[in-house]
Amino acid sequence: MAATYENLTTIEELVKSGVDVNGCTHFINKTPLQCAAEAGRVLSTLKLVSLGADVNLPDEEGFTALHFACFMRRDEVVKTLLELEADPNAAGASGHRPIHFAAMSGSVDMVKRLQEAGADVHAIADSGMYMNASALSWARLNKQEEVVEYLESLG
């Protein structure tokens, strides 16, 4: 909760007292960093990483903090995580990568940022709700025309 509410002092006190910075909370099965990313908390993200949080640690479904930030359209957190060397091609258990969630959310800036960081814009999610779906497929499905136009321009 401290990460979600950007209580930086509490985050530091908890970690210093022995709380595992990469440990999942028992009721939502997400790490503090994943919670901070989902909530759009840049300062919490930076604090947690400075205290040893792993930017590429996946949850039970294989989703990283970058997946959560993309899904919730947290552009500034996406930028921060990429600067902290989050893997733009991390694939969840369903095969979905951050680029799929960014395309679905409709943020052209996020899609561009991921692509510039090395994300494979043609990656296919090979399982899950929509099999064989690319970022372009997700953008079309969610009627994200600007993202569709951008992804089509890449060939």
pLDDT tens digits for 19-73? 999 998 767 789 999 999 999 999 999 999 999 999 999 998 899 999 999 999 9
Domain at 2-153, CATH homologous superfamily: Ankyrin repeat-containing domain (1.25.40.20)
Say whether pLDDT at 106 is over 80. Answer: yes
| pLDDT-based confidence at residue 133 (cuts at 50, 70, 90) | confident
Closest CA to 38 of 146, 29, 19: 29
pLDDT of residue 5: 86
pLDDT of residue 43: 97
- Which strand (E) or helix (H) includes residue 78? helix 75-83
Tokens of 80: 């921060």
| pLDDT-based confidence at residue 110 (cuts at 50, 70, 90) | very high
Closest CA to 153 of 90, 111, 95: 111
pLDDT of residue 93: 83
Tokens of 82: 């990429």
Alpha carbon 10 to its chain centroid, in Å, reads: 23
Closest CA to 9 of 39, 51, 38: 51
For the chain, the residue count is 155
Tokens of 69: 């930030």
pLDDT tens digits for 73-92? 999 999 999 999 999 999 98
